[in-house]
Structure 1
Amino acid sequence: MGWIKNAKAATLGEDARKAWDAGSPVFTPILNMPSSNAGLSGRVEDWEHMMAAVLAIGWRLHTWAVCSDSRGRPQAQPLFVRP
C-alpha cells in the first residue's frame, strides 16, 4: 500500500510544481480522505505525504479547512502561498 501514498504524493507534487512554475500566487488542492481511514480518528498518513510533497516545492501552508464531499466523507482544502 506504500506505493499508493507515494503515487498520490507524487501527483500532488507535480501539480504543485506546475502551479509554482506558472507563477501562481496560491496553490489550492483538495485532499480526499482515504477509504482506509473513513470514520477513524487519528493520523491521516496519505495527507501527510501529500502535504510534504507540496511543501518540498517551496509552498507554505496558509490556512486549512475541512468539509465533507457529496457522500459525507471528509475532504481537506489547504491553501498554500509562496513564502
Structure 2
Amino acid sequence: MGWIKDAKATAIAKEATRAIEEGRRVFIARINVGMTHHLMSGSVPGFAEQIEAVEDAGWRLDQMSFCQDAKDKPEGYFLFRRA
C-alpha cells in the first residue's frame, strides 16, 4: 500500500478504535477521493483500504452514500455498526 493510503487507513482506524473505547454503537466516516484520482471508471484509490481498516478495528459497514464535494470530486459517507 502506498504511504498516503497507509496513512489515511491508519488515521481512520485510530478514530474507529477511539469510538469503540468511547462506547459508540455507530461510527460514521467521510472518505474522499485523492487529488490525483482520474475520475474514470475503476477502483477508487484508498476507499477499500480505509473501509478494511475500520472493519479490522471492530466495525462492519452498514450503509453508504455518495455525493460530490465543492470541487466536484466524489466523497462517500459510510455508516458502520459494531461487529
TM interval, shorter chain, is: over 0.9
Partner residue in 1 for 2:23:
23
C-alpha distance in structure 2 between counterparts of 1:12 and 1:56, whole Å: 11
Q: What is the CA RMSD across the aligned residues, in angstroms?
A: 1.3
Which runs of structure 2 are paired with 1:1-83 in the superposition (5 Å)? 2-83=2-83
Unaligned runs of 5+ in 2: none
Unaligned runs of 5+ in 1: none
Q: Number of aligned residue pairs: give it.
A: 83
Q: Deviations over 1:22-56 (max 9, x none)?
A: 01110001001112224221101311111111000
In the TM superposition, what is the alpha-carbon distance from 1:70 to its structure 2 partner?
A: 1.6
Indicate the structure with greater strand content. 2
Q: TM-score, normalised by structure 1?
A: 0.92
Conserved 8 A contact 1:38-1:73: no
Q: Find runs of 4+ consecutive structure 1 residues off by over 4 angstroms.
A: none
Indicate the structure with greater helix content. 1
Conserved 8 A contact 2:10-2:53: yes
